[in-house]
Amino acid sequence: MKDSDDPADPTPAASSGDVDGGDAIDRGADTGKTSSDPTADRPVSTVGTHHSAASSLFNSFPSLSRIMSVVVLVMVIIAVGLLFYKVMAGFFVPLFLAVLLVVIFRPVHMWILHRMGNRPRTAAAITTGLILTIVLMPLLLLVVVAVGQFASVLKQIDAGSLKRAIERGREQTALAVPHPEYFRRLDEIVIRLQSSEPQRIETSEVLQAKDILGSLQNDESISQSARDAATPAAVSAAESLDELLSEIKGWQNREFDDPVARSYVEDLDLMARLQQLSDDAGSKTRRWMQEVLGGSIWGPIRLAANLSDDEIDRMILSTRDTLQPWFVQFTSRTGGFLVTLGIGTLIMVISVYFFLIDGPGMVHTLMRLSPMDDNYERRLLMEFDRTSRAVVLASVLSALAQGVLAAIAYFFLGFSGSVVLLFLATTVMALVPFLGAASVWVPCVVWLGLVERQWGQAIFLLIYGTLVISSIDNVIKVFVLHGRSQLHPLLALLSVLGGVGVFGPIGILVGPMVVVFLQTLLEILNHELAKGDFHIRPSDGADETTA
């Protein structure tokens, strides 16, 4: 062996000397010994340390080519994603309904899968057929029957039946007015007195208003108490009309040297007096009308409720003219709508089948491709499952229960000809917060009482609707939700209305779920911020330098 101090081998000696020298310096520092080198006591420079930290930090950054590659890749993904959205946007509703049905019927599918010996395709086919049998086919049948009943109701409505119904309603609510045509004519004259130019007021109209006022004030069909209460107003109105009539006649009998000057005369004092008199006569006549009809509030209401036959005919014609273009447009698009509905239903059924078979694999693939943390993805999936199964299922079951209970009452209270139509209307409105099923059965109460004059049945439906139909909602939701938190009623209403405006009828279910997902995402973000991972911590090199 060669000794490390052998002069014949200088390289190892230098290496060894360096190593030993370094060890000696360390040992000398540890034992407190002082080196004979005058530079030994100088502090060690930190330039090398900073250079090493900077180099390490620089090397940790990706290269420019890799950054550009990632940026281009993200831009391509965004472009393709937009194209994918445009391609799939038309199938959002059937796919969403398919996902909801799969989530809701998953326990049934798992039971069928176990009974079929873990054969997924057979179990998926049976579950899909079960969904078609108990959900889609009955719903389609109900819609067809409801459309037929709606058409039958429209055929029964004509001007005569509508006028008779309005007349019965006025009598039941004490809104009927004796000689309504006289009151309407007097109201027209009053409007002209208060809005027309003074020189355009006709003496015949003022005379007619005075005659109508005197005739109605002495009419025995009007209650004596109402006429006695309105006597001072009648006297005042008659005096104002006489004064206006006298002034108009005096102005018309004035003589002019130039015959053409009558149409161009501008006597400001006379015009101002005529205007004042016409306004005064109109206001006093209207005050008498209000007094004899029941007061300043009830009087205008009674007058507005007593429409003439011509006004009712014009109202029906206007409504028909408004709805006819929409109805023609709807009927012209019925074929296209049925085709779209059939394609959507087929896509939904196929999606249900494949979601039942490959649903777990699809979810696993999405979780693998998503950059989000797996725990957050699982939380979103659990929230979707919980919301679909609890909130949506509770809302649908509650609406169906209210619709069934209301349909039973409709059938026995004389609405058997439109019971299916009313059932669907009650079920759909029960899904809308605040409005609920009462928006359907309350008008039925009004119809029974005011139009059909069946006050016993109307009172029964009012009590039954309040205590049974609208109260079953709270029982079912509490039973299904098991105390889990629900959306605030105001937020639920806004989410339903906004969802319907954006997504159509399916928005009744989509809107609340979007709100729940947003709440979940905000909770996830709050959790991330609370962890403190976004605070900048000093690097190791900075720690060493500070030390």
> Does the model's pTM come out above 0.95?
no
53 in Cβ contact with 542 (< 8 Å): yes
Distance separating alpha carbons of residues 212 and 228, to the nearest angstrom: 17
Q: Residue 84's pLDDT is what?
A: 86
First to last CA, the chain: 45
Q: How far apart are CA 4 and CA 344, in angstroms?
A: 89
Q: Two tokens at 340?
A: 């779209």
pLDDT below 70 — which residues of the chain?
A: 1-62, 154-161, 196-199, 251-270, 320, 323-337, 389-391, 478, 480-487, 531-547
Strand ranges in 296-337 using DSSP code E only, listed in sequence order: none
- C-alpha count within 13 angstroms, C-beta hemisphere, residue 196: 17
Q: What's the pLDDT at 528?
A: 74
Neighbours of 73 (CB within 10 A): 10
173 three-class SS = coil
On whether the CB atoms of residues 279 and 194 are closer than 8 A, the answer is: yes
Which letter does DSSP use for residue 340 in this model?
H
Q: Give the domain ranges of the chain.
A: 177-305, 373-530
In 333-452, which residue ranges form alpha helices assigned H by DSSP?
334-369, 374-386, 393-412, 419-430, 438-446
CA separation (Å) from 165 to 46, 91, 279? 100, 46, 37
As a whole number of angstroms, the distance between CA 367 and CA 274 comes to 85
Spatial contact of 285 and 209, defined as CB atoms under 8 Å apart: yes
Q: Residue 339: name the closest of 329, 350, 347 by CA.
A: 347
Residue with tokens 């018309």: 252
Nearest Cα residue to 278 out of 338, 191, 362: 191
Whole-number Å distance between alpha carbons of 22 and 36: 15
Rounded to whole angstroms, the Cα distance separating 388 from 480 reads 12
pLDDT the model gives residue 330: 57
Q: Which residue matches tokens 């693998």? A: 368
Q: Which residues of 2-40 are buried (b: 16+ CB within 10 A; e: fewer)?
A: eeeeeeeeeeebeeeeeeeeeeeeeeeeeeeeeeeeeee
Is the sign of the CA dihedral 310, 311, 313, 314 positive or negative?
positive
What is the rounded distance in angstroms from the CA atom of residue 450 to the CA atom of residue 169? 5
3-class secondary structure per residue, 244-268: HHHHHHHHHCCCCCCHHHHHCCCCH
Measured CA distances, 529 to 11, 504, 521, 523, 524 (Å): 59, 36, 12, 10, 9
Is the CB of residue 356 less than 8 Å from the CB of residue 98?
no
Helix 298-305 / helix 180-195 crossing angle, nearest 10 deg: 110
| Alpha-carbon span 283 to 244, nearest angstrom | 13
The pLDDT value recorded for residue 408 is: 92
Q: Which pLDDT tens digit goes with each residue over 217-239?
A: 888 788 888 888 888 888 888 88
Name every residue whose Cβ is closer than 8 Å to that of residue 97 and which is 6 or more positions away in sequence.
348, 506
pLDDT score at 482: 59
Token pair in block for residue 520: 């979940």
The pair phi, psi for residue 372, each rounded to 5°, is: -70, 155
> In the prediction, which pLDDT does 50 show?
52
Provide the 8-state DSSP code for 537: P
Q: Which residues lie below 8 Å from residue 283, measured CB to CB, with a gap of 6+?
A: 194
Whether 382 contacts 103, CB under 8 Å: no
CA distance 439 to 441: 6
Report d(CA 208, CA 190) in Å as an integer: 11
Whole-angstrom distance, CA of residue 291 vs CA of residue 94: 61
Angle at 366 between CA 362 and CA 367, to 5 degrees: 115
Residue 66 corresponds to which tokens in the numbers above?
Answer: 């890799």
Helix (H) or strand (E) holding 106: helix 106-115
